[in-house]
Amino acid sequence: MWRPSNNKSAMASKEINKKFKICVIGTGYVGLVSGTCLSEIGHKVICVDNNKEKIKKLQNGICPIFEPGLDKMIARNRKKGRLFFTVNIRDAVKNSDIIFIAVHTPTKENGETDLQFVEAVSKQVAKAMDGYKIIVSKSTMPVKTGQKIKEIISKFCQKGIGFDVVSNPEFLREGSAIKDFLEPDRIVIGVESKKAQQIMKRIYLPIKAPIIFTCIESAEIIKHSCNAFLATKISFINAIANICEKNHGDVKEVAHAIGLDKRIGHSFLDAGIGFGGSCFPKDVSAFINVAQKSGYDFSLLREVEKINQRQKENFVKKIKKNISGFKNGIKNKKLGILGLSFKPNTDDMRFAPSVYIINRLLAEGAIIKAFDPVAKGNAKEIFKNKIVYCSNVFETAKNCDALIILTEWDEFKNMDLKKVKNLLKSPIIIDGRNIFNPEKMKKLGFNYYSIGRK
């Protein structure tokens, strides 16, 4: 269980004990994790969603998403009377000091962020306000969204009611979201008034991390900039992996040496089949659109998107080449897939590379067996009955022409390779996440193919 640092002065301790009534609108990954963690540090939080089925589950102690430790934290704070769930946005707003907006912000076909849910919620909040409130944008929103929220609140709230709009972007990684919230590198808060700044500071006092106060526009740009930079780093190392393959180099060796440069670091230098999830693809596309509207052609990020897409296409070619050759194709070949979620420790399938890769293999006539420790339910909504869902690694490998790794779950890293080899029809493993040592795999008798290595 998270505990605040006890190295505080008496005055600071008094400030930390100041608790607020907080409303979080939206119970997706961002809203549910944020609301639960805010209750964990002592605030009284009510989470709102218009999905009655989801709220009913939460009221009955059922967590609708997979995030390590979240279900226990929800139960603990509900028991302590600090965390509540409702579909009644009006009452939740009236009974709160601060309202966090954490609704879905999908991307339109042209890359623009669809703000219809943000705008609708802002209107509802305005109509429910009966006194001073701080409205905090928590979802990832393009620059100037804060000003749009401000205009909506001003238009629809009662005359004379004061409020402040704040941008407080999240930096949560699925699979480690609780730790990211409670032990962050920094907390970014965009404000327009001293009053809002002081209140937001007091909200986060129990968390030991630097708080960076900026204008609202800077805070909005910071969020998109961070994700765009990390996506660029991933696409960069994937481009290097392609060069390594063509010149008998090893991207693992290259990335290790690059990462030792303190200006660069090792994080996000793992070559593979590209990035996915609910953030990077959407945020890169949205930032390109923001730049375009601002009169700047962000061609660097356009190339990041292209490299990411080509990485998945190249992996399909690698599968076809190393199973049967291009001429014969993979029709009627039985392929075992390990990993469906876009990354380990989550059941999220949004923009997962597995979706593109499996659909391409199915289109070529392959027979797909697949296993993921937690994403089976979400996968069924996408693939329906087009693939066979297995309950473990060994069931997946049995009688397959090859085993293909798409997500780097620890369970796969530690699997019994000798047993897997005996179950496979052919000892072929095609690894999209570089989780094994090529020399070791060769000694075990596998035909092992990975990304950017000899």
- Which residues are the active-site residues? 279
How many Cβ atoms sit within 10 Å of the Cβ of residue 271? 27
How many Cβ atoms sit within 10 Å of the Cβ of residue 266? 12
Strand, helix or coil for residue 388 = strand
Question: Which residue has 């279900």 as its token pair?
Answer: 71
- Angle between the N-to-C axes of helices 280-293 and 299-323, in degrees from 0 to 180, rounded to the nearest 10: 150
Q: What is the DSSP letter of 107?
A: B
**8 Å CB contact between 87 and 47:** no
How many Cβ atoms sit within 10 Å of the Cβ of residue 55? 19
Residues 6+ apart with CB under 8 A from 252: 271, 434, 452, 453
**8 Å CB contact between 445 and 427:** yes
Which among 448, 351, 349 is positioned nearest to 370, based on CA atoms?
349
- For 185-343, where are the alpha helices, taking DSSP H only? 194-203, 216-246, 251-259, 280-293, 299-323, 325-328
The pair phi, psi for residue 304, each rounded to 5°, is -60, -45
**8 Å CB contact between 29 and 172:** yes
How far does CA 98 lie from the centroid of its chain?
Answer: 25
Strand, helix or coil for residue 392 = coil
**For residue 227, what are its two tokens?**
């994700």
Q: E strand or H helix at 247, and its extent?
A: none
**8 Å CB contact between 375 and 348:** yes
Q: E strand or H helix at 187, and its extent?
A: strand 187-190
How long is the chain? 454
Encoded amino acid at 386, one letter? K
Gap between the Cα atoms of 135 and 100, Å rounded: 6
Strand, helix or coil for residue 368 = strand
